[in-house]
Structure 1
Amino acid sequence: MTSFKKGDEVSWKSRGGTAHGTVEKKITSTTDVNGHTAKATKDEPQYIVESDNGGKAAHKAGALHKA
């Protein structure tokens, strides 16, 4: 599994095509992000990413690619 750290530039597939952003932090427990619940665990962490357009969301490692 790929691991990311704060400051990594990443991309992912979104409804509008490919999105880009920066990893803010790794989460390993259930966390609310902009009204959505990210069910992260130590075995399946998720990453809070700020997109280039200013939005924040949690993404699973498998959905992200280093840019």
Structure 2
Amino acid sequence: MAISQGDKVSWKTSQGKTHGKTVRKRVSEFEFDGQTFKPTDDDPYWIVESSSSGKQAAHKESSLTAE
């Protein structure tokens, strides 16, 4: 998957499909919003920003779709 910083992406949520942009790629263990995340070499995490709410969240790269 070829996702880069600043790319427009979408992901599924319980409310439906959400759109936003990638902010930062994380490849080592990190804490975000009170949770610990453990990326793997095959599936890093991205901090993404929702275009509708402006809120940020951490998502596995495999759960993101480039637009």
- TM-score scaled by length of structure 2: 0.86
Q: Does 1:5 align with 2:9?
A: no
* Cα distance in structure 2, aligned partners of 1:37 and 1:7: 23
Cα deviation for residue 44 of structure 1 reads 2.5
* Cα distance in structure 2, aligned partners of 1:25 and 1:49: 7
User: Runs of at least 4 residues of structure 1 off by over 6 A?
Assistant: none
Q: Please give the residue correspondences for 1:1-67 in structure 2 after superposition, counting only pairs within 5 Å.
A: 2-52=1-51, 53-67=53-67
* Cα distance in structure 1, aligned partners of 2:62 and 2:17: 15
- Secondary structure at 2:58's aligned position in 1? strand
Q: Which runs of 5+ in 1 are unaligned?
A: none
Number of residue pairs matched by the alignment: 66
Supply the RMSD in Å over aligned alpha carbons: 1.2
| Contact 2:46 2:59 (C-alpha < 8 Å) held by counterparts | yes
Cα deviation for residue 27 of structure 1 reads 0.5
